[in-house]
Amino acid sequence: MTEDHYFTAEPASADERRERTVHLAGRDVTVETASGIFSPGHVDAGTQVLLRHLPPAPAGEVLDLGCGWGPLALAAALGTPEARVTAVDVNRRALDLVTRNAARLGVADRVRAVEPSDVDESATYAAIWSNPPIRIGKAALHDLLTTWLPRLAPGGEAWLVVQRNLGADSLARWIAEQSDDAGVPWGRIEKVASAKGFRVLRLARPVD
């Protein structure tokens, strides 16, 4: 199994579970990871950059788009007791890990790990946090963002981390040009930070 195939529904590699101690929401926590998912050995460098710049999760609905084993979802739930987190991924092994990690860390009642098709299409989010799957290709990535970013609630913010040399700036330009079905722009996109080869992007949806 190469990292290129972490976004498969059923990873072909042996499901070897392991424990890792990582730093999330200001504390060291031990989580379970496995082969066949994204960055099983540690919190990915891009995700670390994003976590360093994120504000606390808002009280309310938060989406972790492409959750992997759950660093962003878990950080949101651990950092904000009033946050209710939906973590989506196509990789079922990753979803199982998020569920188990949320239970292990005592936030199972506020973290729901589900396949994208199991999310109510009318749900909206006060925050969307994502280290998006750039490697699925531009068209698929645009489809993914077109599905989820318009679900930001008025006044909500989406925070994304993207590698600079994998098209962060052109993705930001593309997001700036998008509108929802009613012709309302997705919001104002800003490059909030640049570190270690990654850009942190923030999309702010105006209050209606």
Choosing from 67, 74, 98, 168, the residue that interacts with ligand SAM (CB under 6 A) is 67
| 30 beta partners | 21
Instruction: Compare residues 164 and 185 and give the one whose CB is closer to ligand SAM.
Output: 164
Asked if residues 35 and 13 have their Cβ atoms less than 8 Å apart, the reply is yes
Mask for 113-142, x = binds ligand SAM (CB under 6 A): ---x--------------x-x--x------
Check binding of 33 to ligand SAM (CB under 6 A).
no
Asked if residues 48 and 57 have their Cβ atoms less than 8 Å apart, the reply is no
| 127 beta partners | 62, 157
* Among 66-74, 76-84, 170-178, 179-187, the segment contacting ligand SAM (CB under 6 A): 66-74
Check binding of 38 to ligand SAM (CB under 6 A).
yes
Instruction: Compare residues 87 and 172 and give the one whose CB is closer to ligand SAM.
Output: 87
Residue of 201, 200, 150, 137 whose CA lies nearest to 7: 137
Choosing from 24, 32, 47, 172, the residue that interacts with ligand SAM (CB under 6 A) is 47
Instruction: Compare residues 150 and 185 and give the one whose CB is closer to ligand SAM.
Output: 150
Cβ-proximal residues to 139 (8 Å cutoff; 6+ apart), any chain: none
Burial 79-97 (b: 16+ CB within 10 A, else e): bbeebbbbbbbbbbbbbbb
Nearest distance, CB of residue 133 and ligand SAM, angstroms: 4
Sheet holding 125-130, edge to edge: 111-114, 83-88, 60-65, 125-130, 152-163, 198-204, 188-195
Residue of 15, 19, 50 whose CA lies nearest to 157: 50
Instruction: Compare residues 142 and 185 and give the one whose CB is closer to ligand SAM.
Output: 142
Nearest distance, CB of residue 122 and ligand SAM, angstroms: 18
Interacting residues toward ligand SAM by CB under 6 A: 6-7, 38-39, 44, 47, 66-68, 71-72, 88-91, 94, 116, 131, 133, 136, 144
